[in-house]
Amino acid sequence: MVDLSQIGEFDLIKRIRKGLGFKNKGVVVGIGDDSAAVRLTRGLILIASTDSLVEGVHFKSDTISPSQLGRKSVAVNVSDIAAMGGIPCYLLISIGIPPSLSVEYIDGLYDGVKEATGSYNVIVVGGDTFRSDGQLIISITILGEIEEGLLVRRGGAKVGDKIFVTGSLGDSALGLEMLESGISDNGPVKATQQTIHIDEVISRHILPTPRLEEGRLLATKRLASAMIDTSDGLASDLRRICEESVVGAMIYLKELPISEAVNDIAISRDKSPYDYALYGGEDYELLFTVRENRVKDITRYWKVMKNPIKEIGEIIKEDVGIVVIDEVHNVRPLTREGYDHFSGIKG
């Protein structure tokens, strides 16, 4: 194990550049100058977003490998571009490094960054490394581009729009719970249906897939009136759409897309799968609204997509707020706080 203090910042940056220093025709100045300089496609506008992962807050280093962490850091940022309907192009990565961290850890982290940027066609053009006295901190800014007329904001939902979500909800939160309970670490056991399900939700947590292709389709076909990625959980993220759009929302509990894995694991632990779907964060699915007269189009266009979509509710007037219709047709307000404050629902 080589300690970081043995190589110093100059050599660390050289090491990083070596791994990431590839360019494309848009990159005028890449890593290693005061600023990066890049060209955008003519006629497109710039989109930019920043997201940080902090050890102990967003991840624990004993439940995610350095390379997985690198991939996830890129993926969650790409997801913000997907949620606008844009194309990710470049990124800047700042890393706050505790002095005790090994060079091998950093190498692993950058290997993951390299793999993820390669698969999303994104180029690392700059960054910053600094000493952190405590936690490992990864702060990424992603730069992308989009046709100005196509970008999908959070504030475009109107009363009557249908609410859709891609994929399934709650997997990542349940995966985190499985990871933290150490259930996956019980050594070699015979694979049962449930151990397979546990692996599934854990991998959803460790390596979320940003819904880039889906977001782009929704934007280019002008299908979505508002869109967000589900990073904090359906309840929180739907609230963001409603606040920006000045509307309310009605969600049908039984329409929530819940994977077999979440259903199986939650029920076997006497928990509600709906709670994971409503409040679990980090799924990085797309939550979006569609004008009623475009719903048939979306079904048609979606045939080419691997990841399914599900209609889960409808935009209503602001004064009603955000409500859930449960299985016995009760209407209950949806707060963002989670199970304790929402005790009326059981799966």
155 part of the interface to a copy of itself, by CB under 8 A: yes
User: Rounded to the nearest whole angstrom, what is the least distance from the CB of residue 271 to a copy of itself in the complex?
Assistant: 25
| C-beta closer to a copy of itself: residue 242 or 258 | 242
Q: For helices 193-206 and 171-181, what crossing angle results, to 10°?
A: 110
- Answer for which of 2, 5, 24, 37 binds a copy of itself (CB under 8 A) is 37
> CB of 264 within 8 A of CB of 134?
no
By the rule CB under 8 A, 81 interacts with a copy of itself: yes
96 binds a copy of itself (CB under 8 A): yes
Write the CB contacts of 22 (distance below 8 Å, at least 6 apart in sequence).
123
DSSP 250-319: EEEGGGS---HHHHHHHHHTT--HHHHHHH------EEEEE-GGGHHHHHHHGGG-SS-EEEEEEEE-GG
User: Shortest approach of a copy of itself to residue 68 CB, angstroms?
Assistant: 20
- Per residue in 94-107, is it b (16+ CB within 10 Å) or e — as a string? bbbbeeebebebbb
Is residue 130 at the binding interface for a copy of itself, with CB under 8 A as the rule? Answer: yes
Q: Could you say whether residue 52 binds a copy of itself (CB under 8 A)?
A: yes
Q: What is the CA radius of gyration of the chain?
A: 21
Q: Is 70 in the site for a copy of itself (CB under 8 A)?
A: no
β-pairing verdict for 322-325 and 331-333: antiparallel
Closest separation in Å from C-beta 273 to a copy of itself: 26
Number of residues that bind a copy of itself (CB under 8 A): 62
- Shortest spacing between CB 80 and a copy of itself, in angstroms: 4
- Residue closer to a copy of itself by CB (options 243, 327) is 243
Among 11, 18, 41, 57, binds a copy of itself (CB under 8 A): 57
Confirm or reject binding of residue 34 to a copy of itself (CB under 8 A). Answer: yes
Element of type H or E holding 93: strand 87-97
- Is residue 275 close enough to count as binding a copy of itself by CB under 8 A? no
Cβ-based neighbour number of residue 128 at 10 Å: 11
Phi-psi region at 223: left, alpha or beta (left = phi > 0; alpha = psi -120 to 50):
alpha
CA nearest neighbour of 316 among 249, 236, 245, 238: 249
244 binds a copy of itself (CB under 8 A): yes
CB of 228 to a copy of itself, least distance (A): 6
Q: Supply the minimum distance, in Å, between the C-beta of residue 157 and a copy of itself.
A: 13
195 binds a copy of itself (CB under 8 A): no
Token pair for 244 = 């920006």
Quick check: 267 binds a copy of itself (CB under 8 A)? Answer: no
Sort 130 into a burial class: Cβ within 10 Å, 0-12 / 13-18 / 19+: exposed
Residues that bind a copy of itself (CB under 8 A): 10, 28-29, 32-40, 45-52, 54, 56-58, 80-81, 83-84, 86, 90, 92-94, 96, 125-128, 130-135, 137, 139, 141-144, 146, 148, 151, 153-155, 227-229, 239, 244, 336
